[in-house]
Structure 1
Amino acid sequence: MKYSYADLSPEQFESLVVFLCQQLLGISVQGFSKGPDGGRDAKFIGTAELLPSRSAPWRGTVIVQAKHTNGVNKTFSDADFFGEATTETVLGKEIPRIKSLRAANALDHYMLFSNRRLAGNADEAIRGLLSRECGLPHGSLYLCGVEQLEMWLKTFPQVATLANIDPVDSPLIVSPDELAELVEAFARNQQVIQAAVDSPPTPRVSYADKNSLNNMSEDYARQQRRNYLKDTTQIQAFLAAPENLQLRRLYETVVMEFQLKITAKRKSHQSFDDVLEYLTDLLFGRDPVLRSNKRLTRAMLFYMYWHCDIGTTGGDDSTD
């Protein structure tokens, strides 16, 4: 079975990696824990069951990292993940941690799993970089992308069951396609609608009441209102224009999907600050149009909230 790894939560992906490593290394693999620097590691100490082979297994301490992304069609070669000359990539930030563990004799072998595609040239380049920077032999480094992950899960089909990978437990994932089309159309016409009246549309319930109902913090609500309230009139005028009927219907499709997913997947303890920031990061990670129009995307999400199209308003949340 092929899994949509981008639709898993980081915790689900980490659980999948731990159960897989218990097959590859041994049952004593310890699960992921968050370190003081924010990194999350799993660890195995002993003689590996299968890696790199039964006849010549790893011995010592194996540190395992899982790097999950909600982005689709991502690779190990992406500029945000790997770059020889920058410390701001995912790998660039990881190297000092590996060097520190190596210096403390707390790491003999290193494994990196990610739900990204891994080409042969990228595998060689990344292992070469890690070997040079961290003083680890090539044979003590293992990179696993989605292609190898699929093969391992066919070899060990019980791993997904053990990790309890259930679509019902998946995180809040929405499609960026319709919103990207909407944002792109608004961006093209923004100059035309600058003349809209200055007063923002009236929310269906008061902003303060809605924030309380949705558990949005006062500071976050104040910043959102200050940054994006002035855009709500233009967005409303744009959606109300007769020539934009199809875009208005597209907007209705977007808010219906967002609202249903938020209702189904939001955990009871989560603030709406967390929900909006998670949605924003997800959308930026999955669509280049939204990523290149970050302010407008955030303004559109604020409009949805301000206009009471996402989030609860109390009662039955019916629209007028």
Structure 2
Amino acid sequence: MDMKAASSPFSSSSSQCSYSYEEYKETADWLLAHTDKRPKVAIICGSGLGGLADLLEDRTAFPYNEIPRFPISTVAGHSGQLVFGRLQGCECVCMQGRFHFYEGYNINTVTFPVRVFFLLGVKTLIVTNAAGGLNAAYDVGDIMLLKDHINMPGFAGQNPLCGHNDVRFGVRFPCMSDAYDRELRVLAKRTAEEQGCSHFLQEGVYCMLAGPTYETIAECRVLQTLGADAVGMSTVPEVVVARHCGLRVLGLSLITNKVVTDYESEDKANHEEVLRTTEDRAEDLQRLVGALVNKL
């Protein structure tokens, strides 16, 4: 069996409909054979937030194109490597760059790393992303603690758990009402107070759209009516698979822009603005995550 990683989003290994348990395990075994780290916490870094991995000590990094079956991140702000190391004494693995629908990947490829993490022995997944603020009370630079999500692609049948269910990963019908661990959210709030971050920490509902277009004004108004506080193009598929595997999940969205809801407005969402905001707030987010991992 060819163990080469995919060289493009559209090569056969990354565009297949699903992976077998044995394929996930072969990737996990390859990683275990190439590092002595045994992480209990995995961190997925969103756009411009890859600096979280730079906090790791005693680091070992693997470019995605060297890891069997791993896809390749093609988005600016995503470095594209898996980093093992210690954060505040806790062994972690960090994804500097994630995968998205809009890159041409199917949902099984987008979520491939999460089941690999499970087989590595990871117990807790921390997901970060850059998001647009739908809640009028949010300011650019706020960090939103995810308490729930709205899975728009899931409404259209794009759920990573569709198809055959392998009970070695999880049950056929997993609960999602507890997708974001309540105890971890309480711990994050307490940690934010200790780190002096509580004045820009929010808590709300994240809505995922497939992208790559930013939302129209009408779409933003619909999402606000549905109760979404922030909107982005990632995170939810990884969370669904993580909960299916029994991992505890903590989600953090950095509000990089306020969505446009006024037809008279001249403002326009753009990726450069997203990266500028993450650069400005990245240090605070890194400090918060580092202190939080220390408590885990």
**TM-score after normalising by structure 1:** 0.27
More strand by share: 2
**TM-score after normalising by structure 2:** 0.28
Which is greater in Rg?
Answer: 1
Higher relative contact order (CA 8 A, sep 6+): 2
